[in-house]
Amino acid sequence: MRQLVYAGTGRVAWQDADEPPPPARADAVVRPLAVARCDLDAPMVAAGIFPGPFPVGHELVAEVVDAGADVRRWRPGDRVLVPFQVSCGACAACVDGRFAACHTYRAPAGAAYGFGAAGGGHGGAVADLLPVAAADHQLVAAPPGVPVEALCTVPDNVVDAYRAVGPPLLAHPRADVLVVGGAAPSIGLWAAALAVVLGAATVRYVDTDAERCARAAALGADPVHHGGAWPRRFDRAAVTVENTGDADGLATTIRSTDDYGTCTPVAIHFAATTALPLLEMYTRGVTLVVGRAESRGHLPAVVDLVASGRFDPLAVGPTVVDWAEADRVWLDPATKLILRR
């Protein structure tokens, strides 16, 4: 089979690889139908963040091609979404619903597809075949009638956007939402779009990029085109999404969070330590939610939003490219790059 691999800093290439063996009793082998490039995928290759070579890609919709003897929910031909994190569904953490904390699958950067050894050595999504453990637990049914290029975006970056606005809006349905920055270009726009869909009172989208601001406006948010240094704060909102990736932008977003509100960074802060306005956070009761999105946990809620037609992931304006072009386009600039067979 063929798979796209990270081949060294700034390079990807097609590689021939052995087909995976027949699945173990609880596992499955799937054939990816469409793959979206995560907002981390391009910088991961461009900057060589994790040691390679390794097969890339971790946002996918796929077709089951083989299922182990104990798999009850899936047969060959079923279309499924694959959470980007790998979990077993049976350990104490999984039983507790903390699938991303799975005790069975551990890895330095969290067990996941498409991260090489740092993610536990699981396969990549830009491949003809991908083995999936614990298929009954991990896989989520792809809703019929939704194009594969829309579905493939859901397991990571759409879920990431959802977890930043969905749970806080469920707790406070008419809250104001503020998204600051475009470091993860698709996640910030999806956060704005989901906030509109979920009924936020107001949704403001702040970005240095005029094109993304225009897209945010088309999604129903109020765009704020901002250049230069981050201000001390913007007008406050109870739900804020930090997408600047820099320390000043994080502090600005925290100060822009209303009393007893929630600020969720969706950009990754690679610095080991960053100064935070902790006294202000304490005094005003601001909650800072730091961590990766929990893919398996949020997937069903997000799939429901997509299946019902309330939320269309394609509204952010993705670039859809033929699968065979993956090696040529993987590092191209795009708000969202999608590969489709």
Cβ closest to Zn ion, residue 102 vs residue 130:
102
> Least separation, in Å, of the C-beta of 86 and Zn ion?
9
Smallest distance from Zn ion to CB 40, Å? 5
- Smallest distance, Zn ion to C-beta of residue 102, A: 3
Choose, by CB under 5 A, the member of 26, 34, 40, 44 that binds Zn ion.
40
What's the closest the beta carbon of residue 159 comes to Zn ion, in angstroms? 10
Number of helices (H), then strands (E), belonging to the chain: the values are 11, 16
- Selection from 128, 108, 129, 113 nearest residue 56 by Cα: 113
Contacts to Zn ion from residues 76-105, by CB under 5 A = 87-88, 91, 94, 102, 104
Between CA 291 and CA 300, with CA 294 as vertex, the angle to 5 degrees is: 155
Tell me the residue ranges of DSSP E strands in 69-143. Answer: 79-82, 130-132, 140-141
Q: Does residue number 7 form part of the binding site for Zn ion (CB under 5 A)?
A: no
User: Residue 105 or 311: which CB sits closer to Zn ion?
Assistant: 105
Task: Copy the structure tokens of residue 24.
Answer: 């173990």
Angle 102-104-105 from CA coordinates, rounded to 5°: 75
**CA–CA dist 273, 276 (Å, integer):** 9
From residue 146 to residue 175, the character string flagging contacts with Zn ion as x (rule: CB under 5 A) and all else as - is: ----------x-------------------
Judged by CB under 5 A, the number of residues near Zn ion is 9
CB-wise, 112 or 303, nearer to Zn ion? 112
Tokens of 212: 């993304």
- Residue 238 half-sphere exposure, CB side, CA atoms within 13 Å? 16
- Compare residues 105 and 230 and give the one whose CB is closer to Zn ion: 105
38 counts as binding Zn ion under rule CB under 5 A: yes
Q: How far is the CB of 158 from Zn ion (least distance, A)?
A: 11
87-103 burial by CB neighbour count: b if 16+ within 10 A, else e? bbbebebbeeebbbbbe
- CB distance 119 to 87 below 8 Å: no
Query: To the nearest whole angstrom, how small is the minimum distance from the Cβ of residue 209 to Zn ion?
Result: 20
Q: Smaller CB distance to Zn ion: residue 44 or 165?
A: 44
Nearer to Zn ion, 176 or 294 (CB): 294
Query: Would the CA dihedral through 172, 174, 179, 185 be positive or negative?
Result: positive
What residue ranges bind Zn ion (CB under 5 A)?
A: 38, 40, 87-88, 91, 94, 102, 104, 156
